[in-house]
């Protein structure tokens, strides 16, 4: 019986979180509309049998990339436990309800920041950003900050997950799990040369 790689991921993620800071930081690689790759860090905000969730601005460069090519690759490196995990899959938007529920848990400053930032578009000056933050603060003073319509989450539905384990003798272990059927098929497992 093959272990479920998402369960394996969750167990390793718990180990990595206990072993050091920022285990939730992951590189998100996308393909821009012109077919070129781009990568940046985002934070993992949820993982379950459906996939890996992160949140962002829907007007950002990564959002344009995902609109053109709804596929992504994620990469974690957890130095304290000597592990790398690579994830590849199709990407879908989370539901409005799911995004609302997560947005409501964010610190107020982050909620205000989401309203103030036209992420990835040119900014004339730092003062413009500071002013937009002040405007958003004033707009929502005395009440809850709703989720901006231009801010939500994406779920990477994995079709492949690879675990790399560091070996002191350089005989690193690479274990790759892959499945067909758009994230719904049976997982297959193979070892790869390091
Ligand atoms: C550790 C770390 C975590 C980050 N987490 C997020 C995140 O969860 N969501 C996000 O939109 N940007 C996050 N950022 C900022 C992104 O790396 C990036 O600068 C921003 O999203 C704009 O990317 P884009 O122009 O490719 O869309 C994070 C940056 C770092 C260094």
Query: How much is the pLDDT for 184?
Result: 79
If we measure between CA atoms, which residue out of 164, 187, 166 comes closest to residue 177? 187
Per-residue pLDDT tens for 25-68? 999 999 999 999 999 999 999 999 999 999 999 999 999 999 99
Per-residue pLDDT tens for 57-100? 999 999 999 999 999 999 999 999 999 999 999 999 999 999 99
Q: Which CATH architecture has domain 5-106+149-192?
A: Roll (2.30)
Pocket test for ligand 1, best of 27, 31, 56 (most atoms within 8 A of CB): 56
Phi-psi region of 82 (alpha: psi -120 to 50; beta: other; left: phi over 0): left
Please, are residues 32 and 128 in contact by the beta-carbon 8 Å criterion? no
Per-residue pLDDT tens for 168-190? 888 899 999 999 877 778 999 99
Q: Is the pLDDT of residue 119 over 90?
A: yes
- Distance (Å, rounded) from C-alpha 63 to C-alpha 193? 34
With 0-12 / 13-18 / 19 or more C-beta atoms within 10 angstroms meaning exposed / middle / buried, residue 167 is exposed
Backbone angles phi, psi at 114, to 5 degrees: -65, -40
Query: pTM for the complete prediction?
Result: 0.97
Sorted by where each begins, the domain ranges of the chain are 5-106+149-192
Backbone angles phi, psi at 65, to 5 degrees: -60, -45
Residue 23 tokens read as 């285990």
Nearest CA to ligand 1 atom 18: 40
Q: Is the pLDDT of residue 1 over 90?
A: no
Q: How far is the CA of 118 from the centre of ligand 1 (A)?
A: 13
Please, are residues 156 and 87 in contact by the beta-carbon 8 Å criterion? yes
């Amino acid at each position: 019986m093959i272990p479920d790689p998402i369960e394996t991921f969750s167990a390793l993620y718990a180990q990595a979180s206990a072993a050091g800071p920022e285990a939730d930081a992951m590189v998100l690689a996308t393909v821009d509309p012109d077919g070129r790759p781009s990568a940046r860090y985002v934070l993992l905000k949820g993982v379950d049998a459906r996939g890996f969730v992160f949140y962002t601005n829907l007007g950002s460069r990564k959002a344009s990339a995902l609109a053109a090519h709804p596929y992504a690759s994620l990469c974690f490196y957890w130095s304290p436990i000597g592990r790398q995990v690579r994830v590849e899959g199709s990407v879908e938007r989370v539901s409005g309800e799911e995004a609302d529920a997560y947005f409501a848990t964010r610190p107020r400053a982050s909620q205000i920041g989401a309203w103030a930032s036209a992420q990835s578009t040119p900014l004339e000056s730092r003062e413009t950003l500071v002013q937009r933050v002040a405007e958003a603060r004033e707009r929502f003073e005395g009440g809850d900050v709703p989720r901006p319509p231009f801010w939500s989450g994406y779920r990477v539905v994995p079709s492949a997950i690879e675990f790399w384990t560091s070996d002191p003798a350089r005989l690193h272990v690479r274990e790759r799990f892959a499945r067909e059927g758009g994230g719904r098929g049976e997982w297959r497992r193979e070892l790869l040369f390091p």
